[in-house]
């Protein structure tokens, strides 16, 4: 159990681990309550990575990017009609011009691409403005 | 000139208990946990994860600081914390705020409720 608790402490963000892991392990040794302390260690691990380390911003950015790519793929699948009997792909031509060369880049695709990129930029700007106005001063304090 | 403590108030329950436990004397982490359990008669128990997360925040805000280790203690992992004078003033402001809340609650609870 002690080894498991040490592993939990080791998984904490480096700054927190350097500062407090030794004391937390000492408390574990002193108190002798392994169950509640393991649970507390797990909660602390999640809190330090998700709330305190700023990793949630990276996760949010990745999620937003995935939503954009997913929406683009969905709209492409939904609105671009593929003929029932598509012409056979000329392998030599694909090798020469790239794998997407046989798919014509229609105005519709370009329009959706533009909408999603602009939408993403607007969301990013709103998020950054909110962070600068509210969260950054509080963190500085 | 009066100080403005509004950015720090109200204190979270954990922060309030930590500051209260340090109001009497300097303590190490485990001592803070034990004192909080004693003050709340075992009703409020703080784990080390929550304790050090809050201590880190309170240190950043300047309410708590690390105090020099007593020479008698040989365990290098044991660190002591103390309330800063600013932390003591914030704690006093929070206690005054809580007193006002209790006063208000008593007035409202004493007044018989009117039937609607």
Within a 13 Å sphere around the CA of B13, how many CA atoms are in the beta-carbon half? 9
| Distance of residue B110 Cα from the nearest chain A Cα, in angstroms | 39
**B102 or B8: which carries more pLDDT confidence?**
B102
SS3 at position B109? helix
**A77 or B12: which carries more pLDDT confidence?**
B12
pLDDT of the residue at B9:
86
pLDDT of the residue at B57:
92
In A, minimum Cα distance to B28 occurs at A23
Q: Do B30 and A36 touch (CB under 8 A)?
A: no
* Domain limits, chain B: 13-110
Residue B109 has pLDDT above 80, yes or no: yes
pLDDT of the residue at A31:
83
Task: Give B50's contacts (C-beta < 8 A, 6+ positions apart).
Answer: A40, A43, A44, B14
Strands B27-28 vs B80-83: parallel, antiparallel or unpaired: antiparallel
Q: Give the tens place of pLDDT for each residue, B18-44.
A: 999 999 999 999 999 999 999 999 888
* Domain limits, chain A: 2-52, 55-140
pLDDT of the residue at B58:
94
Could you tell me the strand order of the sheet in which B64-67 lies? B27-28, B80-83, B64-67
> Is the CB of A6 inside 8 Å of chain B's CB atoms?
no
d(CA B8, CA A103): 60
Q: Would you say the ipTM is above 0.95?
A: no
d(CA A103, CA A30): 68
Interface of A with B in 52-91 (CB under 8 A): 52
**Residues of B whose CB is below 8 A from A34:** none
**Residues of B whose CB is below 8 A from A19:** 52, 56
Task: Give B52's contacts (C-beta < 8 A, 6+ positions apart).
Answer: A16, A19, A20, A23, A24, A44, B29
H/E stretch holding B27: strand B27-28
Full-model pTM: 0.65
Average pLDDT over residues A83-107: 62
In B, minimum Cα distance to A27 occurs at B30
pLDDT of the residue at A85:
64
> Is the CB of A48 inside 8 Å of chain B's CB atoms?
yes
Mutate: best of A13, A40, A43, partner B, most B CBs <10 A: A40
What kind of architecture, by CATH, is found in domain B13-110? Orthogonal Bundle (1.10)
**Residues of B whose CB is below 8 A from A31:** 30, 33
Task: With cut-offs at 50, 70 and 90, classify the pLDDT of residue B92.
Answer: very high
**Residues of B whose CB is below 8 A from A37:** 47-48
Task: With cut-offs at 50, 70 and 90, classify the pLDDT of residue A76.
Answer: low
Chain B residues whose C-beta is within 8 A of a chain A C-beta are: 7, 28-30, 33, 45, 47-50, 52-53, 55-56, 61, 75-79
Q: Give the tens place of pLDDT for each residue, A28-40.
A: 988 877 788 899 9
By Cβ distance, the residue of B45, B49, B77 closest to A44 is: B49
pLDDT of the residue at A121:
82
């Amino acid at each position: 159990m002690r080894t498991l608790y040490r592993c939990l402490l080791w998984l904490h963000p480096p700054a927190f681990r350097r500062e407090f892991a030794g004391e937390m392990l000492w408390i574990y040794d002193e108190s002798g309550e392994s169950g509640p302390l393991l649970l507390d260690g797990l909660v602390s691990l999640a809190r330090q990575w998700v709330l305190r380390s700023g990793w949630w911003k990276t996760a949010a950015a990745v999620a937003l990017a995935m939503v954009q790519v997913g929406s683009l793929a969905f709209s492409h699948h939904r609105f671009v009609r593929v003929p029932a009997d598509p012409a056979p792909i000329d392998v030599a031509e694909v090798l020469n011009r790239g794998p997407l060369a046989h798919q014509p880049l229609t105005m519709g695709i370009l329009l959706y691409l533009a909408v999603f990129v602009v939408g993403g930029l607007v969301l990013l700007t709103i998020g950054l403005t909110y962070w600068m106005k509210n969260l950054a001063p509080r963190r500085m304090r | 000139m009066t100080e403005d403590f509004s950015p720090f108030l109200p204190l979270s329950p954990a922060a309030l208990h930590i500051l209260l436990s340090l109001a009497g004397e300097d303590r190490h982490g485990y001592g803070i946990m034990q004192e909080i359990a004693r003050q709340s008669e075992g009703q409020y128990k703080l784990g080390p994860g929550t304790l050090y997360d809050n201590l880190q925040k309170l240190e950043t805000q300047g309410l708590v600081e690390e105090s020099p280790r007593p020479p008698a203690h040989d365990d290098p992992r044991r660190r002591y914390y103390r309330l800063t004078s600013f932390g003591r003033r914030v704690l006093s402001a929070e206690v005054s705020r809580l007193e006002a809340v209790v006063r208000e609650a008593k007035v409202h609870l004493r007044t018989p409720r009117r039937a609607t």
